[in-house]
């Protein structure tokens, strides 16, 4: 009832005057037709593209994907200036990466986020971070990425430019590059914008000894910073919340942080980025994989007050909300404090915290000790979280 209760009360109380409870004053507002449409469950379909530009804005047309002159121009004047590097500039059918000494790690991802741009990032940043982080969680250093873009006709070129800038920026942060790619244009389907697909090749670091079989009761769980921010930032934009400007996606490439931790020799046994399904899903997976229990402490979870209130207002459990720049690490107890100190010196780990530990309680479950000292089970979220009533 949380949210909707407050929401409905917001209506009741704010309209007719009532007790001035500050938190209730944070309510969604309808500012224009678009917000309204976004509200009425067309969430997944909202077109963030067409409304934002003038009619004479240069746009993507079908011929941009046709393989002819127009496509050459798109590549030469928009893609290469932003993403270009020695491998990509050759415009060959594939990229030659050269030999590596460690094991190869290979991963692939698709991105369909709506809206395409959101506080703290956009689909381009997300695509790079998602793939780099998948490699990083395997203990791998990214060698090169591929980027395939499926763009809807009518997408403004300046939007594409901004997204390509983000791709370049995120790849630079991760110290990698787009080595190969593809562009297709599809007819307008009302879906809005574009779909990005990335793949990444990485080289596993010699120090990586990631294996859930090594996990024992007593091992500590560390997260590198505040949780739930990506998912909440997107939801806040979609729903037109007033606090949307304060919530920013945490999308960030974690490979440097992971490389630092592994190269220091800490006894890290497990790394996973809690994206869709949030921390709750990763913890539940961990309990399933190891046959051991997980105990986390609510008061130790790093989360901002804004995020906590936003989650409450949306009726979401922050543990089930997506992150794009967070990593859950399982490390032996002996190394936990040292590793925490090291993490906190890293820009992406300033708010790192030990949030719990592995126990041998039976049956294997994820439990949380709540702020008031109670205990409850933490489960994977079940599908779509519905907006609330009453």
Partner 1 sequence: MSDELADICERIGREVCIMEVCGTHTVSIFRNGIRSMLPPTLRLVSGPGCPVCVTAQRYIDAAMDLAGRAEVIVATYGDMVRVPGRHGSLETQRAAGADVRVVYSIRDAVELAARNPDRTVVFIGVGFETTAPATAAAIREAYTRRINNFCVLSAHKRVVPAMRALLEAEDVPLDGFLCPGHVSVIIGAQAYKPIVEEYNRACVIAGFEPMQILQGLLHLVRQIKQGEAKLDNAYGIAVKDEGNLTALRLIDEVFEVSDAVWRAMGVIPQSGLEIQQKYAQFDALRRFDLQLGADEDPPGCRCGEVIQGKIEPPQCSLFSQQCTPLHPVGPCMVSSEGTCSAWFKYGVRGTSRASKPRA
Residues 350-369: x where in contact with partner 1 by CB under 8 A, - otherwise, as a string: -----------x-xxx-xxx
Selected binder of partner 1 within 13, 70, 148, 157 (CB under 8 A): 13
Query: Is 386 one of the binding residues for partner 1 (CB under 8 A)?
Result: yes
130 touching partner 1, by CB under 8 A:
no
Whether the CB-CB separation of 174 and 76 falls below 8 Å is answered with no
Q: Which stretch binds partner 1 (CB under 8 A): 6-14, 47-55, 116-124, 212-220?
A: 6-14
Measured distance CA(121)–CA(167) in Å, rounded: 10
How many of the chain's residues bind partner 1 (CB under 8 A)?
Answer: 53
* 240 neighbors 30 (Cβ within 8 angstroms): yes
Report the residue from 2, 97, 191, 277 that binds partner 1 according to the rule CB under 8 A. Answer: 2
Strands (E), the chain: 104-111, 117-118, 121-122, 140-152, 178-186, 194-204, 220-223, 268-272, 293-297, 328-331, 353-359, 366-369, 375-377
Site stretch for partner 1 (CB under 8 A), options 47-55, 163-171, 338-346, 380-388: 380-388
By CB under 8 A, is residue 379 in contact with partner 1? yes
CB neighbours of 79 closer than 8 A, spacing ≥ 6?
164, 181, 183
Q: Using the rule CB under 8 A, is 45 a contact of partner 1?
A: no
Q: Are 6 and 24 in contact (CB under 8 A)?
A: yes
Q: Is 15 in the site for partner 1 (CB under 8 A)?
A: yes
CB 333 within 8 A of CB 220: yes
SS (H, E, C) 315-361: CCCHHHCCCCCCCEEEECHHHHHHHHHHHHCCHHHCCCEEEEEEECC
By the rule CB under 8 A, 7 interacts with partner 1: yes
Q: Does 376 bind partner 1 (CB under 8 A)?
A: yes
* Residue 309 interacts with partner 1 (CB under 8 A): yes or no: no
CB 242 within 8 A of CB 27: yes
Tell me how far, at minimum, the Cβ of 322 lies from partner 1, in Å: 18
Q: Are 262 and 205 in contact (CB under 8 A)?
A: yes
Site for partner 1 in 312-351 (CB under 8 A): 315, 317
Neighbours of 84 (CB within 10 A): 15
Gap between the Cα atoms of 54 and 175, Å rounded: 36
CA 194 vs CA 56, 164, 178, 293: distances in Å: 20, 12, 18, 41
374 forms part of the interface with partner 1 (CB under 8 A): yes
Instruction: State in angstroms the smallest separation of the CB of 272 from partner 1.
Output: 17
If the CB atoms of residues 15 and 305 are measured against partner 1, the closer one turns out to be: 15
Q: Which of 117, 152, 229, 239 binds partner 1 (CB under 8 A)?
A: 239
CB of 355 to partner 1, least distance (A): 16
**Residues 23, 25, 30, 172: which binds partner 1 (CB under 8 A)?**
30
CB of 142 to partner 1, least distance (A): 33
β-pair partners for 122: 117
Nearer to partner 1, 73 or 360 (CB): 360
Minimum CB–partner distance for residue 387 and partner 1 (Å): 4
Torsion sign over Cα 296, 301, 307, 310: positive
Give the residues lining the site for partner 1 (CB under 8 A): 1-2, 4-13, 15-19, 21, 28, 30, 36, 39-41, 239, 284, 287-288, 315, 317, 361, 363-365, 367-377, 379, 382-383, 386-390
């Amino acid at each position: 009832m949380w949210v909707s209760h407050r929401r409905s009360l917001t209506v009741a109380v704010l309209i007719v005057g009532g007790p001035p409870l500050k938190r209730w004053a944070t309510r969604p507002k309808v500012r224009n037709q678009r917000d309204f449409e976004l509200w009425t469950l067309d969430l997944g379909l909202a077109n963030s593209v067409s409304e934002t530009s003038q009619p004479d804005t240069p746009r993507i047309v079908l011929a941009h994907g046709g393989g002819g002159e127009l496509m050459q121009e798109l590549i030469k004047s928009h893609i290469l200036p932003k993403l270009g590097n020695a491998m990509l500039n050759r415009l060959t059918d594939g990229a030659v990466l050269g030999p590596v000494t460690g094991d190869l790690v290979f991963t692939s991802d698709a991105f369909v986020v709506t809206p395409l741009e959101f506080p703290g990032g956009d689909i381009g940043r997300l695509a790079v971070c998602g793939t780099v982080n998948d490699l990083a969680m395997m203990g791998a250093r990214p060698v090169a990425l591929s980027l395939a873009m499926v763009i809807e006709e009518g997408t403004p070129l300046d939007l594409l430019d901004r997204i390509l800038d983000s791709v370049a920026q995120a790849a630079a942060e991760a110290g990698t590059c787009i080595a190969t790619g593809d562009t297709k244009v599809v007819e307008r389907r009302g879906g809005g914008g574009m779909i990005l697909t990335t793949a990444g090749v990485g080289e596993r670091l010699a120090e990586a000894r990631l294996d859930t079989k090594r996990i024992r009761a007593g091992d500590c769980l560390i997260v590198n910073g505040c949780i739930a921010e990506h998912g909440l930032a997107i939801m806040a934009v979609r729903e037109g919340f007033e606090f949307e400007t304060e919530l920013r996606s945490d999308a960030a490439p974690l490979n440097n942080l992971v490389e630092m931790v592994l190269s220091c020799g800490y006894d890290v046994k497990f790394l996973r980025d809690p994206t869709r399904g949030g921390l709750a899903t990763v913890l539940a997976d961990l309990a399933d994989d190891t046959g051991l229990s997980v105990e986390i402490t609510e008061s130790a979870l790093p989360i901002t007050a804004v995020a906590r209130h936003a989650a409450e207002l949306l009726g979401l459990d922050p543990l089930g909300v997506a992150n794009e720049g967070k990593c859950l690490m399982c490390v032996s107890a002996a190394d936990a404090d040292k590793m925490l100190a090291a993490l906190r010196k890293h820009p992406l780990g300033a708010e790192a915290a030990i949030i719990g530990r592995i126990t041998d309680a039976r049956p294997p479950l994820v439990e949380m000790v709540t702020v008031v000292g109670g205990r409850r089970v933490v489960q994977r979220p079940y599908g779509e979280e519905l907006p609330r009533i009453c």
